[in-house]
Amino acid sequence: MSGSWELVHFPIVSDRRGNLTFIEGGSTIPFDINRVYYLYDVPGGAHRGGHAHKELHQVVIAVSGSFDIHLNDGRRQQTVTLNRSYYGLYMRNMVWRELHNFSSGACCVVLASHHYDEADYIRDLDEFLFKATGERPE
């Protein structure tokens, strides 16, 4: 995987009883899965996120419903729509992300490379842009 983020098509085991997708740490994705968290009961249209991680890598999956992720690594910005259970958005560290446009009933599952550590979060966009680019925002 190259770049700060990448959309990954995970394997699908499909039969008439439904679909199964699997992800193995250190194999399907390039990091060990130390933390899993998920967002649910999100009001339709809600907005979340607005942070970056200094070290943590993660994969974000819309297992139900859909939402958009706006991504910014200080050099490139992109908005990705996640709306299929078998796609995951792999994000390296140092990516500012905001989640928005949740569909009603959406569930967002995140697989993360590290346990929770508040010191790993960057919650201020200007601080993030300075760290990412070495330049003070105007």
DSSP state of 29: B
Is residue 15 within 8 Å of residue 97, measured between CB atoms? no
User: Residue 58: helix, strand or coil by DSSP?
Assistant: strand
70 assigned to active site: no
- Catalytic residue from among 47, 51, 100, 114: 51
N-term to C-term CA, the chain? 32
Q: Which is nearer to a second copy, 61 or 129 (CB)?
A: 61
Residues that bind a second copy (CB under 8 A): 16-25, 27, 32-43, 46-48, 63-64, 85, 102, 105, 107, 109, 111, 115-116
Closer residue to a second copy in complex, CB, 114/131? 114
Q: What angle do CA 60, 34, 88 make, to 5 degrees?
A: 15
Question: Which of residues 3 and 38 has its CB atom nearest to a second copy in the complex?
Answer: 38
Which sequence positions are flagged as catalytic?
51
